[in-house]
Structure 1
Amino acid sequence: MRQFKYLLLGLVFFWGMSIQAQETGPIKVELVEQDGKWQLLRGGEPYYVNGVGGKDYLDQAAAYGANSLRTWSPDGAQEILDEAHSRGMTVLMGLWVGQERQGFDYDDPKSVKAQLEGFREVVKTFKDHPALLMWGIGNENDLFYSNFKVWNAIEDIASMIHEEDPNHPTMTVTAGLDVAEVQLIKERAPSIDIYGINTYAGLLGVGKELRQFGWDGPYMITEWGPNGHWEVPKTAWEAPIEQTSSQKAASYQERYNKGIAEDTDMCIGSYVFLWGHKQETTGTWYGVFLADGTETEVMDVLEHSWTGEWPKNRAPHINSFTMNGKNVTESIFTQQGDVCTINIDAYDPDNDKLDYRWELLPESTDIRSGGDAEAKPEAMDFKIIKEENGTLQFRAPLKKGPYRMFLVIYDGNGNAATVNIPFYVKGDS
């Protein structure tokens, strides 16, 4: 089973890197360009980034072929750098640049100066750690903003880093891609070495757009994964429709092969999102792990993309599903207390016995932007009339409103498939 593989490899990495972890001094990271083709070098050797966004599950990351991790701030930097180094991995160290949407004022010179000097101390403290790969200056500072001075502040931070740390390049990250931000970064932050892009459904067009918008340097895909909750079809009551884990796996595979690995001239790597678990619109939307550490079919695709090999035990696969005979895109309505029927067509590639677990939640109302923390709705009791394999008959809630029925299908070997179905309970007419 794959879990034994990562435990074994995790121990090998830990023992094998224990001596290296004692090393001091930086490993120089640099960018080289020849005939329009960019390459990242680490210690003089080519270094293509197959990275993970997050600091958890590092044994799995190393065992499955990832070589780097991304943070969004320097919180816990020493431990993260040490943990990465002990596994032969590097760190894109994030510097969380104040965001206008969160109240940071770029017309306040004292705040801007204090931020710069705070980052100077961070850089001086960690610049010589051998696991450091590069500095990520800010994340999506272009999200819901109007003060372009943020780019001047990012330039000052990047310039400071080049003065304090000549061994590691700088990057800033935007939410998707827009010609205005590309031009602003080029004009106001010329000390930025690498353009980082968080992109989901639009990933396949990023390389072409960057070139059209005038960027001729290297870039990285710093967050990528399933279709974002803002990019998908919605129900009649505006609930976004989440992909199944199997649909997500297909998206990850296509986006890596055709949107990341294919651009060998300018793309120097990527960080998949999210290497962990979080509540964002739903509790299953972005994480490649479930809350209990179980892995989804997305992990199969990532391991194959990074190593060229499929795991020996594969996750369950969902072919299709309906509720009351309707597809999820048909906006499923029911009446209070009505009997509802869900049918799931799923299978396991290894013929493992499948365990179906259902959970009913009201539609989340705590929807935020930019990945800010959200609260998960409380699960509800519901009346099960019949449950057999992939079929569930249950009574709709007595309270009108929007709901989601979640299903996790476990294979008993640390893998699972996920799907959720939004539906609306109507009141008496």
Structure 2
Amino acid sequence: MLNSKMLLAGVCALLIAGCTHPDAVAQSETSAPTQSVIKTSLAQTDNGYTILRDGDPYFIKGAGGRTRLALLADSGANSLRTWDTDNAKAILDEAHKHGLSVMLGLRLGHERHGFDYGDKDAVAKQKAAVREQVLKYKDHPALLAWGIGNEVDLFYTNKDVWFAVQDIAAMIKELDPNHLITTVTAGIDKEKLELVLTRVPDIDYLSINIYGGLESLPQDLLDMGYDGPYVVTEWGPTGHWQVDRTDWDVPIEQTSTQKAASYRSRYAGGIKDAPGRALGSYAFLWGQKQETTPTWYGVFTEAGYPNEVVDSLYYNWNGEWPEVRAPSILNFTINGKQAVDSIHVQAGESMTAELKLKEHQDDGTTIRWEVLPESTDIKAGGDPEARPKPVEGLFVKDNDGTLTLTAPTTPGGYRLFAYALSGSGKVATANIPFFVDGK
């Protein structure tokens, strides 16, 4: 529980909202576990706060997602996070099989989707539905914590949502005294944090979604007066709302190499460097999804190949690199220009793209190219988006990282994607936006 000392000390915080919602649910036929419930709690010591699981200190090394759990465990993780209870029994069983705990999400309605927290009947029905889920899964040995809602504060106006969250937290505390309870916010300013701390006293710690800005989070929280425990429940590449944009106002995505570096620096600054306060984290996203682009947030391609970020997470969790690593991108240009140069071409113009790589082992690399129109199906908060259809028939010549192609004939914004796949099945990815001006 966030105690009174923490309430007084902790009226503060900073954050930049994240995006959520995982890739498709993996099915599992794993048999039910035979072990009994494993108790988790939050302890305060002279060195700060720590999670105790089965009586032992437990630092969360996790990722958000529900697929490829064997690889997650082999990479050094000990936990995963979900956003809802869809297929929860299979996920919990599979996690337990691989020695992973689960922060199980309890989906709540969002104001931006039409849920009205002023509707007492709707709020009561939601609480009753959550109660059924808690009773169903509370004794599973893989369960670590309950996550009540995810970013219910994103674009909200009705602050009564926090009373609803507290009502559920108090209920869970009574139904299940063996597991931790938290709620996840989409960016916390001082007003919002005060609301959470005062209106939701039955959560055990803060859960924070943050992308760019994670490195300075521990000091920023201290500067604002909060020295209590927290878990970073989403973090990863620089968000599409935080990056530089082209002169036609589309965001410029980091390469997988740049993302991999940011996963290391952000983990070190925002999580590892705050012992006794940071209880661990869940990296985003252990899976694949379309959000702005098909490659922005997932650590796997649509074909299931792990990118460089998986290697960085391995490094974060183990303190050393995996034996086999993904290729790295040294440079990617169109007509000799970088993405930040706001590249314009004429319809039907001949273009030359060059991709320069660093290979970490001699296993051969194959490059696949794709041109997609700029996505127009942009949502908020990780809501599902449609993937643009590729433009076919543009490639003229492909030779060892140099591609000759013809610009599309329809004016507008596009992206050229490059996927560099090693012989060992790991990938580097990059894309460059370009704009076809027309003849």
TM range (shorter): over 0.9
Residue of 416, 419, 429 corresponding to 2:427? 416
Alignment correspondent of 1:146: 157
Which residue identity is paired with 2:84?
A: S
Match of 1:21 in 2: 33
1:402-427 superposed Cα distances (whole Å, 9 cap, x missing partner):
00011101112110110101000002
Out of 231, 240, 258, the residue aligned to residue 247 of structure 1 is 258
Tell me if 1:74 matches 2:53.
Answer: no
What is the DSSP-based 3-state SS (H/G/I as helix, E as strand, rest coil) of the residue aligned with 2:233? strand
- Report the counterpart of residue 8 of structure 2 in structure 1: none
- CA shift digits 1:342-377 (9 cap, x unpaired): 111212111332111100110000000000000000
Residue deviations 1:223-264 (CA, integer Å, cap 9, x gap)? 111001001000011110000000000000101122111110
> Following the alignment from structure 1 to structure 2, what is the Cα–Cα distance between the partners of residues 247 and 176?
24
Given the alignment, which residue of 278, 281, 287 partners 1:276?
287
Describe the shift of the 1:45–1:36 C-alpha distance in structure 2 as closer, same or farther (beyond 3 A): closer
Greater shift after overlay, 302-311 or 248-257? Answer: 302-311
Partner SS state of residue 193, structure 2: helix
For the Cα contact (< 8 Å) 1:71–1:94, is it kept in 2?
A: yes
Decide whether the 8 Å contact of 1:182 with 1:214 is kept in 2.
no
Query: C-alpha separation between the residues in 2 aligned to 1:312 and 1:191?
Result: 44
Q: How does 1:40-51 map to 2 (within 5 A)?
A: 40-51=51-62
Counterparts of residues 299-310 of structure 1 (less than 5 Å): 299-310=310-321
CA distance in 1, matches of 2:173, 2:396: 65
What's the counterpart of residue 134 of structure 1?
145
Question: What is the alpha-carbon distance in structure 2 between the residues aligned to residue 182 and residue 206 of structure 1?
Answer: 14
Within 2, Cα distance between the matches of 1:109 and 1:215?
Answer: 33
Q: Within 1, Cα distance between the matches of 2:33 and 2:360?
A: 40
Q: Amino acid of the residue matched to residue 22 of structure 1?
A: T
Residue type of the alignment partner of 1:101: R
Match of 2:115 among 81, 104, 115: 104
- Residue identity matched to 1:27: I
Q: Show the 5 A alignment for 1:217-236.
A: 217-236=228-247
Check the 8 A contact 1:51/1:70 in 2, yes or no: yes
Contact 1:169/1:193, CA 8 A, preserved across alignment: yes
Report if aligned partners of 1:382, 1:397 keep a CA contact under 8 Å in 2. no
1:237 aligns with 2:248: yes
Measure the CA separation in 1 of the matches of 2:70 and 2:98: 7
Report deviation, 1:96. Answer: 0.9
TM-score calculated relative to the size of structure 2: 0.91
Kept after mapping to 2: 8 A contact 1:193/1:217: no
Give the percent of matched residue pairs that are identical in Structure 1 and Structure 2: 50
Residue type of the partner of 1:21? P
Aligned to 2:67: 56
Aligned pairs, number: 411
TM-score, with normalisation over the residues of structure 1?
0.93
CA–CA separation in structure 1 for the residues paired with 2:218 and 2:181 = 19
CA drift at 1:35: 3.2
User: Where does residue 3 of structure 1 map in the other structure?
Assistant: none
Q: Which amino acid aligns with 2:132?
A: E
Q: Tell me, in whole angstroms, the C-alpha distance in 2 between the residues paired with 1:104 and 1:231.
A: 28
Work out the CA distance in 1 between the residues paired with 2:77 and 2:350. Answer: 46
Which blocks of at least 5 consecutive residues in structure 2 are unaligned?
A: 1-27
Specify the SS of the correspondent of 1:210. helix
Equivalent of residue 407 in structure 2, options 371, 396, 407: 396
Cα RMSD (Å)? 1.5
- SS of the counterpart of 1:21? coil
Is 1:189 the counterpart of 2:200 in the alignment? yes
User: Are the equivalent residues in 2 in contact too, given 1:361–1:379 (CA < 8 A)?
Assistant: yes
Cα deviation for residue 329 of structure 1 reads 0.5
Aligned to 2:103: 92
Equivalent residue letter for 2:42: L
CA distance in 2 between partners of 1:413 and 1:74 (Å)? 34
> How far 1:214 sits from its partner (Å)?
4.0
Q: Given residue 397 of structure 2, which amino acid in structure 1 is its aligned partner?
A: K
CA shift for structure 1 position 155: 0.5
1:386 positional shift: 2.4
Give every structure 1 segment of 4 or more consecutive aligned residues whose post-TM-superposition deviation is greater than 4 Å: none
The 2-side partners of 1:384 and 1:87 are apart by 44
Give the match for residue 370 of structure 1: 381
Deviation at 1:208, TM superposition (A): 2.4
Change (3 A) 1:138 1:211: farther
Match of 2:340 in 1: 329
Of 136, 159, 178, 2:189 maps to: 178
Q: Distance in 2 between matches of 1:215 and 1:21?
A: 40
Quick check: 349-358 or 143-152, which moved more?
Answer: 349-358
Which structure has more relative contact order (CA 8 Å, sep 6+)? It is 2
